[in-house]
Structure 1
Amino acid sequence: MMIVRHAEHRDLDDIFILAGKSGVGLTSLPQNKEILLARIARTQKTLQGQAAPNEQGYLFVLEDTQLQRVVGVSAIEVAVGLTEPFYNFHVGKQVHASQALNVYKALNTLFLSNDHTGCSELCTLFLDPEYRKDQNGKLLSKIRFLFIAAFQQAFQNTLIAEMRGYSDENGRSPFWDALGYHFFNMDFSTADYLSGIGQKVFIAELMPRFPVYTDLLPLAAQQVIAQVHPQTVPASRVLESEGLRYQGYVDIFDAGPTLEAEVKNLRAVKESQTCAVKIVSSLPEATGRYLVANDRYHDYRAILIQHAADADNLSLTAEQAYALGVQAGQSIRMLPLDKMESK
């Protein structure tokens, strides 16, 4: 059985292996045990109420309970940019016009921005390639929305998610090569890694403070602005199905798009329901797939089930109830896996 739960210290080695498989571009999952251990410790401090607002974050793992192995991770940052500046580019326009010369030009620009300071952020989504099947990716990604729906008071009003931008099979980013490289004089993977392990001061020191006219960039760089990496397209579509949208902000390194939404408008917030557990020996014929969580803040557990619709009760097998840590009559939260199933 696949189960989502909070990351614990015993998961470090498995998460380190996953980090090695993630490749270039996932800055929040560096293959660095010290950094990863700090992420786990920060999760535990957040759950215990011992973390300041600027330090709060949740790291979830997807565990194959049969093998007792962590095969995926996803995370939520409670408020970005409160300790170190959170940078991205705002994609805008500047108009250059002259009536005397009968010239009017609207030019696309990139302007360094801190507009998302204080927002909550979805991040660090990675699933072992061997497990990219059976809806595991959707479970790992979407369960964060169900957690937010249950504990809205723990998060900010706006939620964002930075999508991995385009890079080729060798890890080269056309956008970085055309812009960032000229200011940093290092390759994309090095800058990406330094950002991922928290060494972000160099961004403020070296990035251009004035608008960048995108028409002056090579065509290859222009074409990847706000373009999602091919491997990240499924993850992007999942987030869009939950209510997040591109609003004109891109990553400063690879120009991947930032998606955002008001928490109150998320599908999970508006449509998730609580109901009582009913334990049965065999399940009735299923009508859809549902995310199910126990709504326990400190001991969060979530699974994906096939479910027959029932307004008052949710039928679970004894195995499923055990995985969630719930008993008959106790309350759980559920949400259709896909938006079309809720119609």
Structure 2
Amino acid sequence: MMVVRLIQADDHEALRELARKTGPGFTSLQDNDEQVAAKLSSALQTFDPETRPEDALYLFVMEDTETGEVVGISGIEAAVGLNDPWYNYRVGTLVHASRELEVYNQLHTLTITNDHTGYSELCTLFLAPDARHSKHGSLLSKSRFMFMAEFSHLFNEHLIAEMRGYSDENGISPFWEGLGRHFFSLDFSEADKLSSMDKVFIAELMPKNTIYTNLLPEDAQQAIGQTHQNTTPARKLLENEGMRYTGYVDIFDGGPTLVARTDDIRAIQDSHYVKARIDEHPPEGELYLVSSNDFKDFRCCMTALTSVGKHVVTLTPDVAEALNITEGSTVRVVPLSSGRRF
């Protein structure tokens, strides 16, 4: 069984191993000792009484309860852009027209913005390749919504998620090659790595004026708003929960930024409390997310549930143990799939 829980200090080696598998363009968890250590430190510091709520980074790991192996990670930034600037491009349209010449052209543009400053962000979603089955990705991603539903006061009313942009089989980003390289004089992987550690150089080197996309190479234009093939399932999952692409893209690889009102997310909106009844006989039925309501020991599992009245559900002892709950404990539940509601 898989359980999603908050990261702990002794997860460092597991986090480092996951970072070795992420690949180019995965900005928030790179194959870099310094970045991994800094990320873990930030996550642990979240629970320091001196840490402001808006500075919190909630990191979760997915653990196989049978082997103890950590096979995935996901995170939530409480607010972006309050300490370091948060940049992306807004895709817009300018019209150039002349009645006399009978010319009317709609041209797409890119404008650097900080429009999402203060928004909460879903981040750092990565599942080890050999664990990408049995809906583990859905559990890893959507468990964050259960945490946000439980502790909604910690998050902004708006939520974003940056999707990794398109790159070819060699890890080359056509968007970067067509635009970013001209201003940064760096390989994509190097610029991406630097951006995860220090964003000051972005403000110093990025073009300040509006960019006409028709001046970019054709493959760079085509990459705007497109998702890396390994990230497409994660994008579809978030879109099924209510997040949408609204014309904002990453400044490095052109990947789409998905946006939603936090309360409009299906799993947040539809989740609710029930009491746990523990029984040896495994229930049959639809898959659900089930989470505990302990802040520092938050846990979330995926299991089939048979509703027993309006306010009680039956859980197996294995699920109860994974959630660290007992008979009669209050848990939060929601259908795993957005196709059907409770």
User: What is the TM-score normalised by the length of structure 2?
Assistant: 0.97
Q: Distance in 2 between matches of 1:281 and 1:158?
A: 41
Q: Equivalent residue for 2:300?
A: 302
Tell me if the contact between 1:268 and 1:335 (Cα under 8 Å) persists in the aligned partners: yes
- Trace 1:197-276 onto structure 2 (pairs within 5 A): 198-276=197-275
Q: Equivalent residue for 2:193?
A: 193
Matched pairs, number: 341
* Residue 317 (structure 1) shift: 1.4
Q: Equivalent residue for 1:113?
A: 113
Q: Distance in 1 between matches of 2:312 and 2:12?
A: 37
The answer on 1:93 being equivalent to 2:93 is yes
Tell me the amino acid that sits aligned with residue 82 of structure 2. L
Q: Equivalent residue for 2:23?
A: 23
Could you say what secondary structure the match of 1:82 adopts?
A: coil
List gaps (5 residues or longer) in structure 1.
none
Tell me if the contact between 2:79 and 2:121 (Cα under 8 Å) persists in the aligned partners: yes
* Residue 120 (structure 1) shift: 0.3
Could you say what secondary structure the match of 1:237 adopts?
A: helix
- Trace 1:150-165 onto structure 2 (pairs within 5 A): 150-165=150-165
* Residue 97 (structure 1) shift: 1.8
Q: Distance in 2 between matches of 1:54 and 1:309?
A: 37
User: Are residues 321 and 53 of structure 1, via their aligned partners in 2, closer, same or farther at CA, if it must alter by over 3 Å?
Assistant: closer
The answer on 1:56 being equivalent to 2:53 is no
Q: Equivalent residue for 2:14?
A: 14
Q: Distance in 1 between matches of 2:53 and 2:285?
A: 41
Deviation sequence 1:261-280 (CA, Å, 0-9, x none): 00111112210011001011
Deviation sequence 1:247-267 (CA, Å, 0-9, x none): 010000110000000011111
Tell me if the contact between 1:12 and 1:33 (Cα under 8 Å) persists in the aligned partners: no
Tell me the amino acid that sits aligned with residue 3 of structure 1. V
Deviation sequence 1:300-328 (CA, Å, 0-9, x none): 11111011123221111122111111111
Percent of residue pairs identical: 48
Q: Equivalent residue for 1:137?
A: 137
List gaps (5 residues or longer) in structure 2.
none
Deviation sequence 1:191-223 (CA, Å, 0-9, x none): 111112x22111101111111111111111111
Tell me the amino acid that sits aligned with residue 95 of structure 1. V
Q: Equivalent residue for 1:167?
A: 167
Moved more, 130-139 or 302-311: 302-311
Deviation sequence 1:74-133 (CA, Å, 0-9, x none): 000000001111000000011112233222211100000100011000010000000001
* Residue 48 (structure 1) shift: 4.0
Q: Equivalent residue for 1:82?
A: 82
Tell me if the contact between 1:47 and 1:297 (Cα under 8 Å) persists in the aligned partners: no
Tell me if the contact between 2:166 and 2:173 (Cα under 8 Å) persists in the aligned partners: yes
Could you say what secondary structure the match of 1:260 adopts?
A: strand
Q: Equivalent residue for 1:323?
A: 322
Tell me the amino acid that sits aligned with residue 296 of structure 1. D
* Residue 47 (structure 1) shift: 2.9
Q: Equivalent residue for 2:47?
A: 47
Q: Distance in 2 between matches of 1:205 and 1:240?
A: 34
Q: Equivalent residue for 2:33?
A: 33
Moved more, 222-231 or 312-321: 312-321
* Residue 159 (structure 1) shift: 0.1
The answer on 1:278 being equivalent to 2:280 is no
Tell me if the contact between 2:307 and 2:314 (Cα under 8 Å) persists in the aligned partners: no
Tell me if the contact between 2:291 and 2:331 (Cα under 8 Å) persists in the aligned partners: yes
Q: Work out which of the residue numbers 287, 290, 303 in structure 2 matches 1:289.
A: 287
Deviation sequence 1:31-54 (CA, Å, 0-9, x none): 223322332232233234431245
Could you say what secondary structure the match of 2:293 adopts?
A: coil
Tell me if the contact between 1:9 and 1:37 (Cα under 8 Å) persists in the aligned partners: no
Tell me the amino acid that sits aligned with residue 334 of structure 1. V
Tell me if the contact between 2:53 and 2:154 (Cα under 8 Å) persists in the aligned partners: no
Could you say what secondary structure the match of 1:340 adopts?
A: coil
